[in-house]
Amino acid sequence: MHTTLATGVPKRRLGRTDIEITPIGLGTWQFAGGKGFDSLVWQDVPDDETDEIVTKALEGGVNWFDTAEAYGMGRSERRLALALQGAEVASRDITIATKWMPLFRTASSLHENIDSRIEYLQPYPVGLFQIHQPIALSSVKAQMDAMADLVEAGKIRAVGISNFPAPMMRRAHAALASRGITLASNQVKVSLLNRRIETLGVLKAARDLGMTIIAWSPLEMGVLSGKFHADPSLLGSRPIGRRMFMRMQLRRSRDLIITLEEIAAANGVTPAVVALSWLVNFYGETVVAIPGASKVSQVEQNIRALELRLSEREMSRLDELSSRFRKLLPLG
């Protein structure tokens, strides 16, 4: 079954690269298989459901997918590639972002690691290769040099980082620039309930350097959907790690959810659609988002967020209500 991507969906440049992506991609940690550490956050998504999720995303115009080595030790990468093959989508029409986990490793392992990423994702190439965490046994410069080697060898198209603080962003960018390569992105936690990129210098660094911010957990594991406020008993069916996090977030987000529901009703959408639309438009073109989806209906919400344009008054109301989340607040 050949899947044709929807036309007319706006694209943004990934940093200063020549890669163009939709403001909303698809995060795929949920394809990890629900085993080991991953089971604390995600339940298993059946293969047929995975196929439908990916196909629906493509049909809605989503043209990029984020995965990682650490998501099921390659399980997410394999499942994503199989789903894309099943949809018969051409490599030229999509971009895949994946990550190397640096914990207890040196930069030299990147040269071997990329071959595994390529194997698991075949026949689709690695568009964006990211360092998953700012913790490694090698310096930032050594890691960037290894990444530059991979670009020059044609094994990856672009370099990104994840969860890096502003000073490390700038060091990584400078190190890569010394090799004539741009640092494309930093993947960090951003949402209406977490706006710390504004106060920790991450947003400023991204704008100064021409980088894209990729927002992970943009719906706070479903908290911003509002359904768990309406029926807290739904938490009982979620994995324990996710359940504990969400329970702590419910009280602190109640007033924001009420406003999200009001705006959603006025626009004929769900609160999740409003939250995503705000996120990828409030910061101009600097911030894009990778919400996950374990059901087709959730992908449909993500796609609807690509279409929704909130009024200035609606954007301002959400800005004002969420402004306190620019700093770290105690949970509860």
Kindly report the pTM of this predicted structure: 0.94
The CA-atom distances, in angstroms, between 214 and each of 88, 135, 145, 202, 316 are: 27, 19, 22, 12, 22
**Domain boundaries of the chain, sorted by first residue:** 12-324
What is the pLDDT, as a whole number, of residue 19?
A: 98
Give pLDDT tens digits along the chain (332 positions): 677 777 788 999 999 999 999 999 999 999 998 766 666 666 789 999 999 999 999 999 999 999 999 999 999 999 999 999 999 999 999 999 999 999 999 999 999 999 999 999 999 999 999 999 999 999 999 999 999 999 999 999 999 999 999 999 999 999 999 999 999 999 999 999 999 999 999 999 999 999 999 999 999 988 898 766 666 666 565 666 656 666 677 778 889 999 999 999 999 999 999 999 999 999 999 999 999 999 999 999 999 999 999 999 999 999 999 999 999 766 54
What is the pLDDT, as a whole number, of residue 332?
A: 43
Distance CA 198, CA 324 (A): 11
* Residue from 192, 146, 186, 147 nearest 167 by CA: 186
Q: Which CATH architecture has domain 12-324?
A: Alpha-Beta Barrel (3.20)
What is the pLDDT, as a whole number, of residue 33?
A: 82
Structure tokens at 48: 């047929």
- End-to-end CA, the chain: 48
What is the pLDDT, as a whole number, of residue 265?
A: 98
* Residue from 119, 117, 51, 45 nearest 89 by CA: 51
Distance CA 295, CA 90 (A): 24
Active-site annotation, residues? 71
Contacts of 130 (CB under 8 A, 6+ apart): 68, 97, 98, 99, 100, 159, 160, 161, 162, 185, 187
